[in-house]
Amino acid sequence: MSLRIRLSRGGAKKRPYYRIVVADGRSPRDGRFIERVGTYNPMLAKDAADRVTLKEDRIKHWMSQGALPSDRVTRFLAAAGMVEKPAIPVQTKKNKPKRKTLERLAEKEAKAAEAAEAAEAAKAAAAEAAAAPVEEAPVEEAAAEEATEEKAEG
């Protein structure tokens, strides 16, 4: 007979109340149990003293007899300091962005980097142009000289 320490639901609709019971693993959730060893009222605030009540001596007795606590009861026992805190399982990667989305983000970042470099280069070129001395246009003077030469010849 595999013994389990688990929750048995009671209470009205939308108002759950659980009893922590020792039961045969084959019996239904709310069915026959061997002993009631505590209660859990999820409707109370998390810091309320009556949210979880445990009969620690009876739980230790049943665990020494081979009873295994369910996941939720293991959390309650860990909070009470009776067992080690269970390890948090590794989450799936479904919440991470997909491959195509990552590629698009990389392209977007590359374009932004190129635009920033181009803007920086344009700013540097503008600074060089402003710093360089301004030369007079010799083209206009040459055109004026040619016009005076043509008048003199003609």
DSSP readout, 16-37?
Answer: EEEEEEEEETTS-TTS--SEEE
Closest CA to 41 of 20, 71, 55: 20
The count of structural domains within the chain is 2
Q: How many CB atoms lie within 10 A of CB 115?
A: 10
Closest CA to 77 of 46, 40, 32, 43: 40
Same domain? For 66 and 102 the reply is no
pTM for the complete prediction?
0.57
Same domain? For 68 and 108 the reply is no
pLDDT of 111:
94
pLDDT one-digit tens code per residue, 76-126: 999 998 888 888 777 778 878 889 999 999 999 999 999 999 998 888 888
- Evaluate if residue 135 carries a pLDDT over 70: no
**β-pairing verdict for 35-40 and 15-24:** antiparallel
Residue 18: strand pairing partners = 9, 40
CATH of the domain at 19: 3.30.1320.10
Q: What single-letter amino acid sits at 58?
A: R
Same domain? For 73 and 18 the reply is yes
Same domain? For 99 and 72 the reply is no
Residue 8: strand pairing partners = 19
Contact 32, 6 (CB under 8 A): no
* Residue 146 is assigned to a structural domain of this protein: no
Average confidence (pLDDT) over 122-138: 74
Same domain? For 8 and 51 the reply is yes
Same domain? For 10 and 39 the reply is yes
Residue 102 belongs to domain spanning: 94-129
Same domain? For 14 and 48 the reply is yes
Same domain? For 70 and 113 the reply is no
- Evaluate if residue 58 carries a pLDDT over 90: yes
